[in-house]
Amino acid sequence: MDGRTARAAKNRQAVLEAALALIDEGNLQPTAQAVAERAGVATRSVYHHFRDLETLYVDAAQTQIARHWVVLLEPVDGDLAERIDRLVTLRSELFENVASTRRAALLREYESVVLSERLTESRAALRAHLRTHLPELDALDPAAREAVFAICSWETWDVLRRHQTLPVDAARAAVTAVLTRMLSG
């Protein structure tokens, strides 16, 4: 890679990291100017590396997926209580790490086909992950099974953490208690 190509790749990564940092700090819809200032590049560089802000946001979401979704690949085994505990722990780690990016994506879900597709894919992956590790779900009636999917969703996690202001341990305990009651009864 020549110097110019390396510099371009470095600037592109700086823009992406700047957008992620701003989102993590609570600016869920950073402007190109704000991203450029944070990255230390000209505003036109944002549009040089990304066709538009949606492309930047989609790449930011993909970066978060690559960085944080690997926790769902970790083994989950043992008896029901151990599996529930491990699943809730893994999800809480994932949800805590992607919270700001997820909120930013949700703001654009209804106007961005690509972000809507990514969110649909992530919801399906989370459901599949539960089905893989909790075969007890098959014994539940459809309404109860959907309730389990809901209690294990990012949206429920966000309500527990942000709206009900529970600390991580208390939110984990709440999800674990509901799962345990639903699956061991």
Question: What distance in Å separates the CA atoms of residue 156 and residue 153, rounded to the nearest whole number?
Answer: 5
Question: What distance in Å separates the CA atoms of residue 156 and residue 30, rounded to the nearest whole number?
Answer: 26
Per-residue pLDDT at 5: 80
Residue 134 located in a structural domain: yes
Per-residue pLDDT at 93: 94
Per-residue pLDDT at 69: 80
Q: Residue 154 corresponds to which tokens in the numbers above? A: 């990012």
74 & 159 share domain:
yes
In terms of C-beta density within 10 A (0-12 exposed, 13-18 middle, 19 or more buried), how is residue 152 classed? buried
116 & 38 share domain:
no
Residue range of the domain that includes 45: 3-50
Residue 61 located in a structural domain: no
177 & 108 share domain:
yes
35 & 118 share domain:
no
Residue 55 located in a structural domain: no
Per-residue pLDDT at 71: 78
Please indicate, yes or no, whether the overall pTM of this predicted structure exceeds 0.85. no
Per-residue pLDDT at 174: 98
Per-residue pLDDT at 1: 64
82 & 129 share domain:
yes
Residue 62 located in a structural domain: no
Question: What distance in Å separates the CA atoms of residue 149 and residue 23, rounded to the nearest whole number?
Answer: 27
Q: Residue 116 corresponds to which tokens in the numbers above? A: 């809507």
Per-residue pLDDT at 67: 85
120 & 172 share domain:
yes
> Which stretches of the chain score pLDDT less than 70?
1
Per-residue pLDDT at 41: 92
Do 37 and 45 form a contact (C-beta atoms < 8 A)? Answer: no
